[in-house]
Amino acid sequence: MVLLFSSLYAATVVDLDTLHQDILSALPSDPIATKHISTDGQWSTDSNGLLLLDNRIYVPSAGNLLTYVLQYNHDHILAGYFGQNKTLELICCRYSWPSLHANVQQFCKSCVTCMRSKPQCHKPYKSLKQLPIPEQP
């Protein structure tokens, strides 16, 4: 299954299996992953060797892996630019990493398509005028 990730700068073709292989190859260089690979409890590994946190794939913050996961769940044609809450829900079902909520929020706020299509919930801005200078105290 080949997916297209669109961004402002370039379009990249990424296969989901390739993404998981990139995650697997980035695990040894991630300090959180190396600390928890051999521990029990919340951390485990699946049959492919991916590190799982509460049965969700742990994504290290190496390279563009976080961006690819965010784009896969937000920009994909089947995901449909749902916004922060649904994108977070889609990602939390399968993936996990530190500061996941903040990354999803920042990614959705930077999405040009979302910002154009969402209605403004405030009155239109008007030009600012200087207040008159009082003549007396």
Structural domain spans, the chain: 2-117
Where residue 101 falls among pLDDT bands split at 50, 70, 90? Answer: very high
Distances (CA, A) of 132 to 125, 126, 129: 21, 18, 9
What is the architecture of the domain spanning 2-117? Answer: Orthogonal Bundle (1.10)
Instruction: Provide the percentage of residues in the chain whose pLDDT is more than 70.
Output: 84
pLDDT value, residue 14: 58
Q: Which helix (H) or strand (E) holds 95?
A: strand 95-96
pLDDT at residue 83 greater than cutoff 80: no
pTM (2 d.p.): 0.69
Alpha helix segments (H runs only) across 27-134:
31-36, 65-74, 84-94, 100-109, 112-117
pLDDT in tens, 10-49: 334 457 788 888 888 888 888 888 777 665 567 888 888 8
